[in-house]
Amino acid sequence: MANTVTFKVNGLDNLRHAFNELKQEVKTKVSRSMTNASAQLVKRAAVKNIIRSPSVVTGSLRDAVIVKRETKTQLTSEHLVTVRRKKTGSEKSQAKQSTAPHAIYVEFGTKNMPEEPFLEPAITNNARRAADAMAKTGKKKIEAAARKANRGKL
51, pLDDT greater than 60: yes
Of the two residues 81 and 1, the one the predictor is more confident about is 81
pLDDT per position as a tens digit, 11-47: 566 666 767 777 778 888 888 999 999 999 999 999 9
Question: Per-residue pLDDT averaged across 126-142, rounded?
Answer: 91
pLDDT at 1: 45
Of the two residues 152 and 146, the one the predictor is more confident about is 146
Prediction pTM value = 0.79
Mapping DSSP onto H, E and C, the string for the chain reads CCCCCCCCCCCCHHHHHHHHCCCHHHHHHHHHHHHHHHHHHHHHHHHHHHHHCCCCCCCHHHHHEEEEECCCCCCCCCEEEEECCCCCCCHHHHCCCCCCCCHHHHHHCECCECCCCCHHHHHHCCHHHHHHHHHHHHHHHHHHHHHHHHCCCC
